[in-house]
Amino acid sequence: MRIAILLFDRFTALDAVGPYEVLSRLHEREVVFVGERKGTVATEVGSLRMEVTATLDEVTDPEVVVVPGGPGQTAHMADGPVHEWLRAVDRTSTWTTSVCTGSLILGAAGLLKGRRATTHWLAMERLPALGARPTTERVVTDGKYVTAAGVSAGIDMALSLAARIAGETVAQGIQLGIEYAPRPPFDAGSPEKAPAEVTAALRSMSRFVLTGEPAA
């Protein structure tokens, strides 16, 4: 089974690494980091770099596609090589997935029309313009399309996907192996639970608010 994780400049690290840590533990799998050009790309912070090991035209038939989000998502909202690749591999993929604002890229490529999908809470209002039906669930499955909410939800998405691919026992073994038993010090992981002033502060600093970033 070939798993293709898309990389691009200014992606969010955990959007890609979270699913990688889970899916790379499946048996008989090959994980490839794919992008427009081989070489390193920087995450949104810039202090971490990851390597694109295969170009888009070298990965034509992955069973699983993972699209991360991050500020670099903005550069991939217009039609181009990434959209063309996504539409091409989606014809034969078993699962097409995203984390955080990666779903906006899938939507802009025309792959989420009429489908339930999620994204980072700050970007949720962008989904309808891309033809998707937004939902606030942490992981959303609609047919072969699996979208995860913000950043850390990529781990949940990947565990859910691992269970569908290899069974719950295998997925539970992976969860135990990575000791994924989150107990955060604060119950502030969603806008409904976080203090109002914290939610307001993050909203005011959102790139969608500051730049007026278009949906497509």
Domains of the chain (ranges; CATH) run: 2-183 (3.40.50.880)
pLDDT at 141 over 90: yes
Average pLDDT over residues 28-32: 96
In sign, the C-alpha dihedral spanning 50, 51, 56, 62 is negative
Residue percentage of the chain with pLDDT more than 70: 97
The pLDDT value given to residue 208 = 86
Question: So what's the pLDDT on residue 209?
Answer: 76
Catalytic residue (one of 3, 22, 100, 122): 100
- Picking from 39-48, 150-159, 200-209, which range would have the lowest pLDDT averaged per residue? 200-209
Residues sharing a CB contact under 8 Å with residue 17, sequence separation 6 or more, in sequence order: none
Question: What does the pLDDT read at residue 162?
Answer: 98
Asked about 78 being catalytic, the answer comes back as: no
Residue 215, pLDDT score: 44
